[in-house]
Every structure is written in structure tokens, then in C-alpha cells.
Structure 1
Amino acid sequence: MRLLSGSARLAGVIGWPVAHSRSPRLHGTWLNRYGIDGAYLPLPVAPEHFADTVRALRHAGFAGANVTIPHKEAAFAVCDRLEPSATRAGAVNTLMFDEHGITGANTDGYGFVANLRAHGVDPASGPALILGAGGAARAIAAALQDAGAAVTICNRSPERAAALTAHLPPARVLPWDQRNAALADHALLVNTTSLGMTLHPPLDMNLDAAPATLAVADIVYAPLTTPLLAAASARHLRAVEGLGMLLHQAVPGFAAWFGVTPVVDEELYRIVAA
């Protein structure tokens, strides 16, 4: 059994709620694997207490924290410094504390692109059609642009899509009712909405116009195989599940907090998916 010392490194995930998060299992697996004197904790924090809690964690000696729903924009505001990934995404999911203050990064885009590559998908293979216009969509769109892909945003609210593309030129907006036909002109389809998640309605998406080379990615990981991914697999399209994004986005934060760059492998996938 791994025992903590008085100098253990501490990090965690801040959310409201946070009990559903698989991040403690993920980081706990790495801490055990590498024999690190440290712990990673679930931290349920209501929005009205978020900023005070983040500052208190830094003063309490935490190395940093992940941030999940609904705090990613509040995390952006509380930082003393922002990495380019956070500035591009307009949100923060990874906080790092030191004697100089609070640094914020966004690793969602990094995790998404790393997961694509792990599934044999080149993010620059062609245009990407992104469904949704929230924080995850912005981070993923920025990462795909940085990798060399043209990006189209398609959202049920065209105003939100337009607001997102205004920050990421030359991304363009596609009306929601044109999403099915537009597949013919894209190499990658990405669902960043909650549609298809457990206890949510399925995504209404028809893949009839999809070329045989289309890759389909869903950032939802509960269930692991969403209705969208099942439909893609039935058409023999390359399907990219969302759990891998969670695993890969965790790598930079773990390295910053605990001093070891961890490996994402099949054993980790099985443990976190269980």
C-alpha cells in the first residue's frame, strides 16, 4: 500500500458536481504506477466559492488542479498568467500553482488531437465539421486549426457558432439543418455536444452522405460507444471514442504537478473505463 509522507504532492479536480469524474481514478493509477508520493482528490466546489477555493488550495500547498463543469470560464478569470492554449480556447481546465501565482492552461485540444492520432487519424487530413459551440468546441477547433485543418462550426444556436468563429478565423459557420449533407465535404466529424451521453437524447445525425474516408469522433465517454459512434462503425467508418481524449488531456497536468510524464496505454484505458 502506498503511504503519503508529509511532503506529498497534492492535486485534484474541481467541479460542481464532481462525483462522476473519472480523473481521480486516472491520476491515482499513474501515481501508483510511478510510485509517486502524492494524491489527487475530487473537490466539489460550488460556483460562488470557486475563486476563493482556488486561491486557498494554492496557499495550502497544492501543486495545481484540473477544472471541470461549470468552472472553466471562472478558472480563466482567476489566473495570474495564461498559456497560449488557454487564451485560444477562452477557458482553463488545468491550473498550476507556484510562488508566483496561478497559471492556467487548456489541454482539451491537445488531448483531442492526441487521441485522434492514437486512433490513426491525421488531424490535418482534411476539413473538420464540429458540432457544438461550447468551451470544448472552441478548444478542439483551435487545436485542429493549429494542426493544419480547416474548421466549420455547426450549432443549434447560430449566434453561439458565430461568436465562436469570430475568435478563430477563418473558421466558418454552417447552419444546423445542413449538417448531414455537409459531411460529403469533410474528412472529420466531431461531436462536442452532450447529445448521446447517458441520460441525454441521442444526436440526430444521418451519415448517409459520409464519404468512406470520414473519421467520426465523439468527446462523450459515457457510454463509451455512443449512438453516433455505433452508426459510424456500422458504416465501417473510423470511430474515435471520447475516453481517450480524457486520458491524453491529463498528461500535461500530471507532468507539471508530479514531475513525471505519464504514458497512456491499454492498461490505463481498461482501468479508467471499468
Structure 2
Amino acid sequence: MDSALMICVKCQRRLGRVIRRSFSVHNHSLLQRNYYQVLGVKRAATPSEIKAAYIDLSKKLHPDASLSRLHQGEQQDQHNSFVELNQAYAVLSKSLSRREYDFSLSNPGTQTVGVRVRRAAHATADDPYGAQQGEHDWYRDLGSFHQGTQNAGSWDSYYGIKGVRRVKSVYVVYGCILFLVVGAMVHFIIFKQSSDYVISRLDEKDRRIATIYNEAKARARQNGNKKQIELLRARQEEFNLKRKDDQR
């Protein structure tokens, strides 16, 4: 009876090792998946779909969810899957990093960013799941990816428009400065033209008023004060008659 029990125990141990080995092989195959496959979404998935898939999987893969039911090896594998899930969401949840990652998937010859699981050596007390280390590695690889693709001249659709290549930042700065200078010059020219037009109109009005004043002054000298008063009275009477006719 004791020998039979011992054999059963040995069988259970061997079976457990086989299961753990199979799980490890399956987990290793996960490393070959891309981030969309890790989250279980399509490449055309919307940000809301990616977020929903991340929340659902994080509840299932969180180490605290099944910590007591798994062996140490299985806990490590689940930990790696959880870190991989966080890496996938960190990349696909941001439009810029997702666009770079999509480009790396479409151009495997220039791909320097891979789906990698950070081992327990990356975990610290402040970052128990190694997520920060994974994010730092991602941005470091992203910088290498930028450098490699720029040297290869393969940024022909960087802005989402086919045939439009990526413009260096220094050229963008120079373009902004040139735009500001040209804009300031155009505004100055428009203001100067408008100011000159208003001044010319005022000068013309002043000339007409001065002409009328000089003519009135000349007539006053020619007719004398008495004659001028009679003319003013006649004009006033004429004005009053026209006013009465208009009222009728």
C-alpha cells in the first residue's frame, strides 16, 4: 500500500513537471506574437477596443488574482505574460508609438522593436512588474528605430500621406521662423497701405475745406460787410421758403 502510494506521488510530480514544461513552451510561443495578438485585437482596433481588451486581460493575468493557485514556475510565467500585456498596452494606447510600431510590423527589414518579456531581474520594490523597465527599453529601441530608418531613407509616409517624407526638426523650426517673419512683413505692409490711404483722404478733405474758406474770405473782402450780410439774409430767406414748401 505504501509503495503504491509512493508511485502515485511520483507520477503526480512527473505529471506536474510535464504540465509546467508544456506551459513554458506555450509561453515561449507567446514571445513570437505581436502586441495586437497579445491583446487579442485586430490591427484596425480603435483605442477604446484596445483599452477594453487590456482591462479584461489584466484582470485575468494579474499575479494577485491567482497567486495561491499556481506553482512558482506558473506564477513566473503569468508574471511575464502580465508584463508583456502592460508593454503591449503602453505602446498601442499612444498614437505616436502605435504608428511607429505599425511601421515596424509593415517593414520587418527595419524592425528593431520586438515583443519582449522582462524577467524578474527587472522587478524592483517600486516597480514589481518591471513595467517601467519595459517602457524605458521600448523608448530606447524606438530611438534606434528612428535612427536606422532615417539613415535608410524609408520615411516616405511618415505623416500618413504617401510620398511625404519626414522633415527634420531643425527645418520645422526654420520654417516657423520664416513664417513669422513673412507674416510680420505682410501685416506691416497692409498697415502702411491702410495708413497712407486714410492720411490721403484726410489731406484731400482739408484741401477742400481750405478752398471753401478762402473763397468765402475773398468774397467777403470784395463785397464788403454790408453786402455780405445782405447775401446771407437772402440765402436764409431762400432756405426758409424751401423748408416751408417741403412741409406742405
Which range, TM-score by smaller chain? under 0.3
Q: State the structure with more CA Rg.
A: 2
Structure with more of its chain in strand, by fraction: 1
| TM-score normalized with structure 1 length | 0.21
Higher relative contact order (CA 8 A, sep 6+): 1
